Amino acid sequence: MTRPRMGLPDLGFGVGLRSVHFDYILSRQPQVDWFEIISENFMDSGGWPRHVLERIAERYPLVMHGVSLSIGSTDPLDFAYLGKLKQLAQVIGARWISDHLCWTGVQGQNTHDLLPLPLNDETLRHVVGRVRVVQDFLEQPLVLENPSSYLTFRSDTLNEWEFITALAEEADCGLLLDVNNVYVSSVNHGFDAFEYIESVPPERVVQIHLAGHTDCGTHIVDTHDGQVTDDVWELYRLAYSRTAGVSTLLEWDSKIPSFPDLHAEVLKARNHLTEGARTPTESSDRRGAPLPTPLQESFAGAHPPHLILTEHS
């Protein structure tokens, strides 16, 4: 029988480490339970970002979250990349390594997007085989996140929750349940988000992601650019209650607020869990509501880019 969280620790309430907050974190050493990093931003770094990371690793638990593993690609796995991933995990003592159930490119290209997979038995076999290879190489369980998606394939034969459940069990890997992504995809594809959450094996859920999204009228985009909406908090409460306590992480990648505001947003999760309080947000129940005016064609960007360029002051 699988132990809760695959035997991995409940780290509490953390936030994504972003370069705009480096100076604040180093100088103030805020009381944050843990940080999640974007693995690719630090794998080759020899400058200020890597220096900051190693200093933060001395004080805070860290988890590595990747965006380029491309576990669903039909290109061969990149073992040079995996080697760097493993090395970084050892240096900073990462509690686990996660990435996304997606593919990012083929024929040697990387679109830097989390592209969707056809959800059928053939894809499942393909991904299960690759997860096993990656786990053998990393010598630890891989934790995979359900991505938000904007299309489905006619060759789909499984629901996403059926797919990730079968994947987790057959490959013996962990799950990073992004409840915002569940919500985004449920609106885009017209499925029941609550059924999704209730169907995922709770003992496989190692971590939960929270984030904000943008309603474009005809679809919702996972923009990570605002507060968590009430709909997502509701899903979070359900997801959390099904686990034996699980690490919770807020992602915020565009229009990033000050660190105290960012931290305060994830700490709302405590209120939602302990008091069942409903924190007012800008969003109301999306289902059945009239569609708002679509955004301009300007970027309502899915998965904002993760690129460190901020120089320290």
Partner 1 sequence: MSTGEQDEREMELSRIQRMMQVVVTRPAGDLIGVSRGAERGGRAASIEMLEEVVSPSSTLSGLERLAIYHRSYHARLLECFQAMFPALLQALGEDLFNRFALDYLQAHPPRSYTLSQLADAFPEHLAGTRPDADAALADRESWPDFIINLAALELAFMQVYDGPGVEGRQLPSGRHILALPLGTLLDARPALVPCLRLFAFRYPVSAYLSAARRGERPALPMPKDNFAVVTRRDYRVVIYEVSRSEYALLHNLDGRRTMGQALRRSEPTCDCALTAETGRGWLCDWADKGLLESL
Contact footprint for partner 1 (CB under 8 A):
40-41, 43-51, 68, 73-74, 78, 81, 103, 105-113, 115, 117-118, 122-123, 125-126, 150-156, 188-190, 218-219, 221, 291, 297-299, 301-309, 311-312
CA angle 18, 24, 28 (to 5 degrees): 135
Q: How far is the CB of 67 from partner 1 (least distance, A)?
A: 8
Q: What is the dihedral of CA 76, 77, 81, 87, to 10 degrees?
A: -150
Which CB sits closer to partner 1, 46 or 276? 46
CA–CA dist 220, 241 (Å, integer): 26
Nearest to partner 1 of 93, 299 (CB atom): 299
Taking the least distance from each CB to partner 1, the nearer of 13 and 103 is: 103
Cα separation, 112 vs 7, whole angstroms: 31
Give me the least distance between CB of 287 and partner 1, in Å please.
Answer: 12
Q: Which is nearer to partner 1, 4 or 105 (CB)?
A: 105
The string of DSSP codes covering 67-132 is S---TT-SSPP-HHHHHHHHHHHHHHT-S-EEEESSB--STT---SS-B----SHHHHHHHHHHHH
Report in angstroms how near the CB of residue 70 gets to partner 1 at its nearest. 8
Between 118 and 257, whose beta carbon lies closer to partner 1? 118
Cα dihedral: 63, 180, 234, 189 (round 10): -140
